[in-house]
Amino acid sequence: MNSTGFPKNGILLPYQKYAFEKLNAHKYSVLLWSRQTGKSFLISLWAVLRALELKNHTILIISPTERQSKNLIDKVKTHVQAFKIAGAQVNEKMFDDLKINQLEVVLPNGSRIIGLPANPDGVRGFSGDVILEEAAFFKDGRAVLQAIFPTITRKKEYKLIAISTPRGKNDIFYHLWNIAGEDPFYFRMKLTIFDAACQGLDVDIEALRRGCPDEDTWKTEYLCEFADENETLLSYELIQSCESDCKISDVRELKGDIFLGIDVGRRKDLTVISIVEMLGEILYLRHLEILKKVPFEEQFNIIDHYAHYARRLAIDETGIGMMLAEQLQKRWGEMKVLPVYFTQRTKEELASRLKSVFEDRKIRIFPERDLREDLHSIKKEITPSGNIKLSADSTDLGHADRFWALALAVKASGVDDNSVYVTPVFGNSKLSRGEKRWDSYRIF
C-alpha cells in the first residue's frame, strides 16, 4: 500500500483513487455517483484499509435495508480475504485472529466494520466513522442522520461519508449534497456514467441507455440528476415512508379481509393482480401477480382462482378488460366484482384515493424497485385548457400497471367510502382452501 492508502497494483480507477484521497483528507464527504461505477467496491475497500490503519476503531456502514447491509459487508469480507491471502504469501499472519459474522468483521487489531440497516434506533450508541450507503433511499434519513451525528462528533478524526445515486429533492442525501456545496469542510463529488467511462470504466453506455425503462431513470441513475418531484403524484419520500417487509409467500397465511385490484394489460402492457389484506384500518400489499403475454383464458383462470379468497375485487374493464369483468361478474356476482371503466375522471379519483392512503399512512407496501418506480411514475400535467391530467410513460416494465392495480385494490377495500362489503363466496362449496384448485396455478 502506498502513502495515499490505496494498493499499488492499480485496482482502482482514476476517479476512485481521487475520491479515496479526498475521503482521507476530509471529515465530511458527499459522493453523488452513477450506478455501476464501483461505489460499494470503493467504500468497502476504504473501510477495510481504514480499519487496518487504526486500532480499536469502529466503522459503521448504514444501508437502506438489511439485505443491502449484508451485501456491502460481503464486499468487505472479500477485501479482507484478499488481504489475508496476500499476507500468507509473505508469511504475514496478522489476519489469523480474524472474526467474521453476518454483519460484522472484527480485525485482530480490535477494529470493527459493522453493517446496519437505516433504522434510527438501531444505529445509535456507536463511536467512529459512519458511511451512509445509498443514502437517498433511506426510509427516514433525517432521523438516521440525527441519530448518528453524535457518533462522528466525539473525536475530530471521525468521518461521515454519504454516497448514493440521486433520487428526489426531499431526502437527506439531497440535503447533504446542498450543504456540501456551501461548506468548505465538506468534500463533494459528482460522477456520471460518462465521467466514469472517460476515466477507464469498461461499460457499454449505449446498452445501459437502451436498458433504462424511461428517460427519468436514465437522468437520475446514470446522469446523476435529482428528480423534480413537484409534478409527481407520489414522491419517493412518501412511497418509502409506507414500505415494510409485508410480502408473503402463501395467501393462506392471511387472517384479514382480502381485496384484489386487477389492471388488465393491453398490447405490450402487463396484467397485474394486486392482493391486499386489511388488518384494522391498515391495508397491506401482500403480493403482486405479474402476467406478461398470458393468454386471455389463462388470465381469467388465475384471477378466478384468487377471487376465491377475496371479499371484493375491482377490475379495469377498459378495452379487453370488459370481457374479463363480465365473466367475473357472472361467476361471482355484481356485489363482489366491481368493474371500473378508465376515464380521466375515474383515474383522478383512483389516484387521489391512493395518494390519500399513503399520506394518512393507511397502507404498507413491500420494498421493490419496479413497484416503487411504477408508483412514482404517475405525473400531473397541465393541459392547454388548464385542466390537470395524469400521465405515465409506457416502458418495458409496463404502463404504471402496478400503480393502477394497487389503486383498484384500495378502491375495492372501500377505504374512505361507504362501499358495501360482501362475504367471500366460493363457486364450489365442496372446495376448501388449499385443495386442488389452489395447487393448480403458480401462486406467489
Q: Contact, 129 vs 152, CB < 8 A? A: yes
- Go through 46-83 and write b for each residue having 16 or more CB atoms within 10 A of its CB, e for each that does not: bbbbbbbebeebbbbbbbbbbebbeebbebbbebbeeb
For residues 204 and 257, give the distance between their C-alpha atoms in angstroms, rounded to a whole number. Answer: 48
- pLDDT at position 86: 76
Residue 1 has pLDDT above 60, yes or no: no
For residues 29 and 185, give the distance between their C-alpha atoms in angstroms, rounded to a whole number. Answer: 9
- pLDDT at position 436: 32
Residue 425 has pLDDT above 70, yes or no: no
315 φ, ψ to 5°? -130, 140
Average pLDDT, the chain: 85
The one-letter code for the residue type at 444 is F
Burial class (CB in 10 A: 0-12, 13-18, 19+), 8: exposed
Average confidence (pLDDT) over 400-414 = 95
Residue 83 has pLDDT above 90, yes or no: no
pTM over 0.85? The answer is no
Per-residue pLDDT tens over the stretch 48-64: 999 999 999 999 999 99
**Under 8 Å CB-to-CB from 385, ≥6 apart: which residues?**
none
- Distance set, CA 50 to CA 4, 41, 72, 125, 186 (Å): 12, 14, 16, 20, 19
Per-residue pLDDT tens over the stretch 221-235: 999 999 876 678 898
For residues 246 and 275, give the distance between their C-alpha atoms in angstroms, rounded to a whole number. Answer: 12
Q: What is the dihedral of CA 427, 429, 432, 436, to 10 degrees?
A: -60
- Distance set, CA 61 to CA 18, 78, 140, 154 (Å): 21, 16, 16, 18
369-377 and 401-413 helices cross at what angle (nearest 10)? 80
Lowest mean pLDDT across 16-30, 146-160, 424-438? 424-438
For residues 20 and 37, give the distance between their C-alpha atoms in angstroms, rounded to a whole number. Answer: 14
Cell of 303: 384471477
The one-letter code for the residue type at 253 is E
- pLDDT at position 444: 29
Structural domains of the chain, with CATH: 14-221 (3.40.50.300), 236-439 (3.30.420.240)
- pLDDT at position 268: 60
Q: Contact, 227 vs 218, CB < 8 A? A: no
Lowest mean pLDDT across 112-126, 142-156, 394-408? 394-408
If one counts every other C-beta atom within 10 angstroms of the C-beta of residue 263, the result is 30
Lowest mean pLDDT across 339-343, 363-367, 378-382? 378-382
Residue 430 has pLDDT above 90, yes or no: no
Per-residue pLDDT tens over the stretch 249-261: 888 889 999 999 9
Report helix, strand or coil for 193. Answer: helix
Of 265, 231, 306, residue with least CA distance to 405: 265
Q: Contact, 171 vs 138, CB < 8 A? A: yes
